[in-house]
Chains A and B, each alone.
Chain A
Amino acid sequence: MTDPQGVDYDSMADEDLIERFQQGDLYAFDLIVKRYKDQLLNFVFRFLGNQEQSEDVLQETFLRVYRNRHAYRRVAKFSTWIYTIAGNLARTELRKKKRRRLFSISDMGIDNKDYEVSDEKFNPEAHVDTLLHTDVIQSEIDRLSPKFREVIILRDIQELPYDDISKILRVPIGTVKSRVNRARLRLQISLRKKLDLKQTGKQG
């Protein structure tokens, strides 16, 4: 999109947008939100496993970007900065969630989504398969410890480069690679069993 002054926002890098926002251009902030809201939501959602909580975390992430816009320095990639904020908030939320589960009898490790009426029946069969696989994969991701969970989401779902993941999590690249390998191995073992079982059950 080009504004009346001839600024082509769409071709602007994220770093240019945040710079404009730092100078008071609120439209640049709107564009940042549009660019990042869905990919960040998927990152946080796969980490927390609950859409409502994930949207809250995402709202808080953008709110912090808005308030602390002047804390961003161009030496770092904007994506790394915003992922770090979202990741920190998601980890805090996960800890709160664990505490709530610990003290709440009604929760007992069962998510509300277990009671929601699934809309799988309204979708074509291929979509049902995808949803089925997604649910199984999500439940197995949930079983991973947070440090394995975040690397596997960032690397294999969000497809970020190792270098970026290393900066977001503030751990060496070697550690990221090793965690990714171990997380994949765990998922491979559990998913092989579960997806094979589902497949067999469906055929039967």
Chain B
Amino acid sequence: MNECSLYKNKLALDAEHELDESDKLAIANHIKSCQSCAAKISDVQIIRNQLRNITKIKTTSDFETVLRARIQMSKNIGQDPLTILYKKYRLPALGFAIATIVATIAILHPLNMPSILQQSGVPTDLTFKNIEPLDIQAGGMVYTMDIIRLPEIELEARKSHSTNENRGEPAETKENPLIITSYHSALKADALDKHQPRRQVNESHHPVSF
């Protein structure tokens, strides 16, 4: 059995006459006493014969005529002005398209957005730096909410407020919609989230009564 494992990988090659003389002789001696290995060699020979004798097909009679026509056609296509233009400018056009896509992505990349917004006059510092607690008393309960102060946004709001005053118009409390959205959504989100009192009134806070 151990001897069989020595020849395991060479049996098929023996059937294909791909072995050198020494291996060939060794296998010939081995299969005299090993029917299993002899059968394996025979199996390979049988399958090879079956495959070798498979019906061969031929190309159709007009194969070469069709080929010549296709070659001629491809030559004509190559001389077509559109094809010449395409061949000449396809690489620059591809390069331009890639550059445009890369530039668009670079300009609209989230990292660049603050500077774009700044140029458009939109406040950009949207990080909630100053979060202050506000306690509200209602129905005998005390609700604590987080009020978010956005200094830059407030500044913008004040600017628009003073501009209106200088024109002699009645001072409107024209707020930047972004403040309201941020402020209200913060309130809403927090209020909705806290149906239960979160903590007791803190001395340092300023309670608001309704």
Contact = CB atoms under 8 A, between A and B. Distances in A.
B51 A55 contact: no
A66 interface: yes
Interface in B105-146: none
Contacts of B53: 130, 133
A16 interface: no
What DSSP secondary structure best describes chain A's contact surface? Answer: helix
Contact of A45 (B51, B57, B64, B70): B57
Interface stretch (A77-85, A181-189, A196-204): A181-189
A152 B60 CA distance: 25
Contacts of B192: none
B160 to A, nearest CB: 60
Interface string B136-162: 000000000000000000000000000
Contacts of A88: none
B52 A58 contact: no
A166 interface: no
B59 interface: yes
A169 interface: no
A63 B63 contact: no
B64 to A, nearest CB: 6
B43 interface: yes
B54 A137 contact: yes
B interface, size bucket: 20 to 34
A131 B55 contact: yes
Contact of A157 (B52, B60, B64): B52
Contact of B50 (A42, A63, A137, A177): A137
A130 to B, nearest CB: 6
B88 interface: no
A137 B63 contact: no
A38 B59 contact: yes
A interface, size bucket: 35 or more
A184 B48 CA distance: 8
A41 interface: yes
B157 to A, nearest CB: 59
A184 B67 contact: no
Nearest to A61: B67
B48 A156 contact: yes
A134 B54 CA distance: 5
Given A42-B56, A42-B57, A37 B48 contact: no
Given A55-B60, A130-B55, A188 B66 contact: no
A138 B55 CA distance: 10
A134 B53 CA distance: 8
A152 B51 contact: yes
Given A51-B57, A157-B54, A59 B67 contact: yes
A152 B52 CA distance: 11
Nearest to A46: B54
Nearest to B69: A59
Interface string A108-136: 00000000000000000000001101100
A156 B51 contact: yes
B59 A37 contact: yes
Contacts of B63: 37, 55, 58-59
Contacts of B64: 30, 33-34, 37
B59 A41 contact: yes
B47 interface: yes
Interface of B: 12-13, 18, 43-44, 46-48, 50-60, 63-64, 66-67, 70-71, 74
The 10 tightest CB contacts between A and B, nearest first, are: A156-B51, A134-B55, A37-B59, A134-B54, A157-B51, A184-B47, A188-B47, A156-B48, A41-B59, A38-B58
Given A58-B63, A159-B52, A188-B46, 16 more contacts: A30-B64, A34-B64, A37-B64, A38-B57, A38-B58, A55-B59, A130-B55, A133-B53, A134-B54, A137-B51, A137-B54, A152-B51, A181-B12, A187-B47, A187-B51, A191-B47
